[in-house]
Amino acid sequence: MTDISQNQYLLCLEPAVFGIWVERGHKKQPVYEMYFKDDVKNKTLAVLTLNYFDNIQEKDGTLLLLKLKKSKIYHTGYFRLRLLFQWFYKKPTQSFEQLKAFASAYSYPRRVRLISFKHGDYYNIFPMDLIGVIPGTNKYVFGLRHTNSALLKIIETKKIVVSEVNHQYKDIIYSLGSHHKDGPPPVQQLPFKVMSSENYGFFIPEWVDSYKELRITKTMNLGSHMLLWAGVDNEHIIKKSAGHLYHIHYLLYLYHLKNGFAYPVV
């Protein structure tokens, strides 16, 4: 069994697609299994069966693209899980299998970062957690929803800026989530001051910890999301981070509470 904790990235939700970074020489398989375990009791929380369907090859390694076939979750008992689904999660747009897939994917904390883009008079700033930083390289991978208002412009210009942000700005970060579908207000009306990135001139909140300007070299339609493969053109560190913002599933949060340990809630 191989530890891929730092090498696995959620890139699409419908269907659930994961990117797994492996070293050169890895022998591809038609089917993979991925296990999520807690870091205290080492208990298995989720088991995912994934089908291989594509890859992105680089000289340093390969990004395997794996589509979820089925999932099993063990955060709580089956009867309680069914009750939770009936009470809180059952919707016309979400089945029990979709709940399991989502809970599985977010049984590992997904860091939230800010994306900036600008082209002519248009700009956008929005949060994302479907992002992967490829270890030992200057590569990033993104899963950007097709309904995002900036997607086509990003693909056309092949530029994007990703910023690391402190969790203390959670409320502002989440307020920017509306920019995914709707255009943002004039930059002068934002509730914070901005600066321009060094080379691209994209707007960056003045309170970010650091940012990287990236050039997109490949795109791929995964389903509900578009994969963007990008390399770093420029990096600018402003200050040392005091802590990041992460997403986990509510079932993982309940499991932690029951067992007397939990990630800090911000």
pLDDT digits (tens, 9 = 90+) for 143-197: 999 999 899 999 999 999 999 999 999 999 999 987 767 778 889 999 999 999 9
Domain 110-245 CATH (choose: 2.30.110.10, 2.60.40.2580, 1.20.140.10, 2.40.30.10): 2.30.110.10
Residue 262 pLDDT: 74
Model confidence at 26, in pLDDT bands (50, 70, 90)?
Answer: confident
**Cis? peptide before 184, omega within 30° of 0:** no
For 207, other C-beta atoms within 10 Å of its C-beta total: 17
According to DSSP, residue 94 is labeled B
Tell me the C-alpha to C-alpha distance, in Å, between residue 237 and each of 31, 162, 173, 221, 259. 40, 12, 19, 32, 38
Q: How confident is the model at residue 211 (pLDDT cuts 50, 70, 90)?
A: very high
pLDDT confidence tier of residue 266, bands split at 50, 70 and 90: low
pLDDT digits (tens, 9 = 90+) for 126-140: 999 999 999 999 999
Alpha carbon 77 to chain centroid distance? 28
87 Cβ contact partners less than 8 Å away, ≥ 6 residues apart: none
pLDDT at site 39: 81
For residue 156, CA distances in Å to 3, 85, 198, 215, 217 come to 37, 41, 21, 11, 11
> Which residues lie below 8 Å from residue 243, measured CB to CB, with a gap of 6+?
166, 167, 168, 266
Q: For 130-222, where are the E strands, in sequence order?
A: 131-133, 139-145, 159-164, 194-196, 203-205, 210-221
- Segment 104-119 mean pLDDT: 95
In sequence order, which residues have a C-beta less than 8 Å from that of residue 95 and are 6 or more positions away? none
**Which amino acid type is present at position 9?**
Y
Q: Where are the domains of the chain?
A: 8-109+248-258, 110-245
Tell me the pTM: 0.92
Sign (positive/negative) of CA torsion 9, 12, 14, 17? negative
Between 94 and 165, whose confidence is greater? 165
